[in-house]
Homo-oligomer: A and B are copies of this chain.
């Protein structure tokens, strides 16, 4: 299986780490217009003496016959890459969000569906053992009907590249970071959303310009329940970890929660006080994706997920930009539940 990677701006490590576990998958080529990143990627064990490096992604696609392309470009420059991959009939593993405008989403979706290629998106948190275990317990009905959910993503700001400081290239923290929080709630509960309200702003960090340092999102669930997403780049420099990721779902029969720097999963029900649940070992993201391409399993993140998550985040961003509640279109495909 011939694999290429276009862009080195995101979660490409999930792909690179998988490739080295797959003896019949080759990283044929990598493209990045960032010379430093292209130089640095040579240190990855997935990059061999047979791997071609390109500054221009169009040249990469022209030169190689590929089965899969990972697209980890700058957010605002992803749409043309996705369209070209679809046109060439190559399966796609995309960074999130898929694109940064609803217009691009419609165009890209039509192209990918028309081409019949497979699409998944790098929602890597679904492969973190605590969240996966929480998903499994929720879907088994361990806490009954999900009623109220909340997720937090709090990151250290650190140094941010120039492309994140412009809305046109970045897209906003709700599509970029909030999409993880949204996905955690939607995926673990299996609940769809019907309406969204949100606000975002940059209160304390003028140096990052368009990039928001905080966002809060309010969602109405299809079953009538409610959810909130909290996103900030305010995690202190001295915090023990980069991200303070949390997920709490309160259901009719109990509460499940991932909380703390050790990402501890706690279950509490009407029958039993709180106790820590040990997660199961998880498969590697890209290894599962390749297995799904071979028909051995479904991948954890479907194309429908990629479209819907991107859509909701872009609608939430519109809600925040315009100060209004946005009704979400009914889903074409429901998440399995």
Interface residues of A (CB under 8 A from B): 144-145, 147-148, 150, 152, 154, 195, 197-205, 213-218, 220, 223-228, 230, 232, 234-240, 250-255, 268-274, 323-325
Distance from A202 Cβ to chain B, minimum over Cβ atoms (Å): 8
Question: In whole angstroms, how far apart are the Cα atoms of A269 and B324 in the complex?
Answer: 34
- 12 more A-B contacts (CB under 8 A) besides A148-B234, A216-B227? A147-B204, A148-B216, A154-B250, A201-B224, A201-B225, A203-B224, A214-B226, A218-B228, A235-B255, A236-B268, A236-B270, A239-B268
Query: For the complex formed by this chain, how many copies does it contain in all?
Result: 2
Contact between B234 and A251, CB atoms less than 8 A apart: yes
When distances are taken between beta carbons in the complex, the residues of chain B under 8 Å from A224 are 201-203
Q: Give the complex CA separation of A240 and B230 in angstroms.
A: 26
A60 → chain B closest CB, angstroms: 40
Chain B nearest CB from A54 CB (Å) reads 40
Contact between A147 and B199, CB atoms less than 8 A apart: no
Q: Which residue of B lies closest to A216 (CB)?
A: B226
Q: How far is the CB of A268 from chain B (nearest CB, A)?
A: 5
Cβ contacts under 8 Å, A154 to chain B:
250, 255
Contact sample, A vs B, 9 pairs, CB 8 Å cutoff: A144-B204, A147-B203, A154-B250, A154-B255, A197-B197, A200-B226, A214-B225, A236-B254, A238-B272
Whether A225 touches B203, Cβ cut-off 8 Å, given contacts A148-B230, A250-B154, is: yes
